[in-house]
Amino acid sequence: MTPPALTLDHFLSRFVLQIPVADAPASPPGRRAAVLVPLIERETPGLLLTRRAAHLRKHAGQVAFPGGMQDATDASLIATALREAEEEVGISADRVRVIGSLPAVTSSTGFQVTPVIGIIPADLPLRLNPDEVESAFEMPLAEALRLSRYSSLDVHRRGITHQVWLSWYQDYFVWGMTADIIRALGHQIAPV
C-alpha cells in the first residue's frame, strides 16, 4: 500500500506531535550559529536549499541551508537564521512563519548550529547574494525526508571516525551537516 502524499498539514501535525531528541552539548561562547530550513508552502511542499559560492574559503560549492554565525546584535538563534536568510537569498523575516527548531548539531568547525524550521510562500522571489550563494533549488519535501535516500560513509580525521550522510538530488550532492539536518527532520516526523 502506498503511503499518503506528504502535505504541509501532515508535516505540521507530525512535527508538532513529535518530541525532539535531546539537545546537543552547550557550545563555547561565540561558537553558535543557526540555519533556516525553509519549507515551501504548496500542495506538495518543497524544501529550499542553496549551493554556496565556489569562491568561498570554507565549504565552497556545498549544498546548504541559508545561515551563519550568531551576531551579538541577534536577539536569538531564530533571529540569526532569519537575518542570514535575508542576507543570503533575500527572504524577508516577515515572510517566514517559524514553526520550531531542531536540536543543535555540531559542525566540522566546532559550531553548534541550530536548525530553525520556517514556512515560506511558494511565490516568494529570491535575491541571491553572489558573494555567498551560487544557486538555489527546491527539492520535494517528501523526497528530502525519505530516509532511505541517504547513505552513510565513515570518514577518519585526526584519529577519530565520523559518520557522514550523503545523497544526490539531480545535480546536487547533499551531504554532511545539511544531510544530517534533513535526516533529523525526517526522523522527527516519522511515524512511531
The total number of structural domains in the chain stands at 1
What's 164's domain CATH number? 3.90.79.10
Residue 45 within any structural domain of the chain = yes
Sequence-distant (≥ 6) Cβ neighbours of residue 60 within 8 angstroms = 52, 53, 54
Residue 107 within any structural domain of the chain = yes
Which of 55, 38, 140 lies closest to 89, judged by CA? 38
Backbone angles phi, psi at 20, to 5 degrees: -60, 155
Separation CA 14–CA 191 (nearest Å): 8
DSSP 134-163: EEEEEEEHHHHT-GGG-EEEEEEETTEEEE
Set of cell numbers at residue 187: 526522523
Residue 1 within any structural domain of the chain = no
Q: Which pLDDT score, from 0 to 100, does residue 36 have?
A: 97
pTM: 0.85
Q: Which pLDDT score, from 0 to 100, does residue 30 have?
A: 58
Contact 133, 123 (CB under 8 A): no
Eight-state DSSP code of residue 95: G
Q: What is the span of the domain harbouring residue 130? A: 8-21+31-189
Q: Which pLDDT score, from 0 to 100, does residue 172 have?
A: 85
CA 35 to chain centre: 6
Q: For the chain, which ranges sit under pLDDT 50?
A: 1, 19-27
Which of 158, 174, 168, 184 lies closest to 24, judged by CA? 184
CA 34 to chain centre: 9
Residue 3 within any structural domain of the chain = no
Residue 2 within any structural domain of the chain = no
